[in-house]
Every structure is written in C-alpha cells, then in structure tokens.
Amino acid sequence: MTQRIAVYGGSFDPFHTGHLVPTVRAQETFKFDAVHFVPAGNPPHKQDEPLTPITHRLSMVALATLPYERFFASDDEVFVKGPTYTVATVRRYRERFPRALLYFLLGSDSFSQIATWESWRELVNLAHLVVLHRAHIWGPELRQRVPEELRSRLVDVEPFADVPDPTGQTVYLLNHDPFPVSATDVRQRQRQGFPIRELVPHEVNSYIEKYRLYRTDDES
C-alpha cells in the first residue's frame, strides 16, 4: 500500500490549537502515515517581522505533537542559510519519499496568496495540497482568489470522508469547522497578561510560561 506523507510548514510562533486540531482532522480523513511539521527558518515574506528563535518554535512543535503517534517535528529549515522557501523544503521531501503520495498542508489564508509564493507552480506539482479552513476566507471568495489554472484541481472534502488516492495533482479543500485562533492573537494576549491556555496545547502553554516568551522587554 502506498504511503501517504504530509508536510505542514509554518512560522508556528507559537504553535496553537488552530494548527493542531485541523491537522488531526486532516490525518483522520486522509489517513496520513506521517505528518511532518516544519517550522519556518527564515521566510522571505516575514523579513520585517522578527520571529522567535527557531529553537523555541521547534521545541513547542515537538512538545505539542509528542502525544500523536503519526505527527513529527522537523528541523529541515533550522540549519538552512539565507531565506527559506517552501518549494525547496517540499522538494526535499519528494526526494526523501520518492514512492509516497506527498501532500502539503496549508491554511486557506495562505492558499489564497499562493500565486505570490516562490516557484508556486513547481510546488503544486510536487505535492497534492490539503487546504485547511480558516474562518476569514473560504468558499466562493477563496476560489476567486486562487490562480485560474488551479481551479479545475479543487475538490471539496468533508471530514472523515473516504478519500481515494488521487489520479492527478489535486487541491483538497477540507471543510472542517474553522478554529478562530491566530498566532498574532496568542502573542498579543500574552503581552497583555491575558490567559492563553485555551488557545494553545497544554505543553506549549507551559513552555511559553517557563521561558517567558512574548513578554515585553521589561518583563522578560
């Protein structure tokens, strides 16, 4: 039986339930043999937004995914020098798992901007896409924003549906309940002293408190 391997890249600054729960739903639906979470090293679109050191972000992903047998934290972008591009990371996974069905997970907000990504046409031919439902963009608006050449690939999928192996390059729109949580909200709440324990996995909350992440300079 052909392996199903998924890659989920993101800043994960911090990793929160809006990342975790939809991925659990995707794994239950697509029956992935493994999901590799890849914290972004130095994404070019965030050059003006300093990220928390990748060692912290990788540690939070590792702690949050430890209870899940098929979820793995990846250091693929930790030691890359210069800007890091999703297409290069997915290319490495294609080479690493040449016989597997390879999927790339991303939020609908990111998918709506796919045409701005480096070598996006290569990316969508390296892996099937699984688009996760973000509350602020879905349905007809999302379809209008993606490149016209991708629209024929779009397939709506309900959670827990029986999804057969794709016969051509496919973009799956996973219609799960959206989680209205963003990393920006989590960071802002932490800076303002509001609780975040309902927004992040328990292990991530403990890690953030231990290392006093996302505090203002005079607090940290």
pLDDT digits (tens, 9 = 90+) for 63-75: 999 999 999 999 9
- Does residue 152 fall inside a structural domain? yes
- Does residue 169 fall inside a structural domain? yes
Low-confidence ranges of the chain (pLDDT < 50): 219-220
* End-to-end CA gap in the chain: 51
CA 35, CA 71: separation in Å to the nearest integer?
5
71, containing H or E segment: strand 71-73
Range of the domain at 55: 4-211
Count up the domains in the chain and report the number: 1
- Does residue 134 fall inside a structural domain? yes
- Does residue 111 fall inside a structural domain? yes
- Does residue 217 fall inside a structural domain? no
- Does residue 218 fall inside a structural domain? no
pLDDT digits (tens, 9 = 90+) for 105-127: 999 999 999 999 999 999 999 99
Q: Which residue's structure tokens are 């540690």? A: 59
Contact (Cβ atoms closer than 8 angstroms) between residue 99 and residue 5? no
- Does residue 79 fall inside a structural domain? yes
Phi-psi region of 33 (alpha: psi -120 to 50; beta: other; left: phi over 0): alpha
Contact (Cβ atoms closer than 8 angstroms) between residue 208 and residue 50? no
CATH number of the domain within which 172 lies: 3.40.50.620
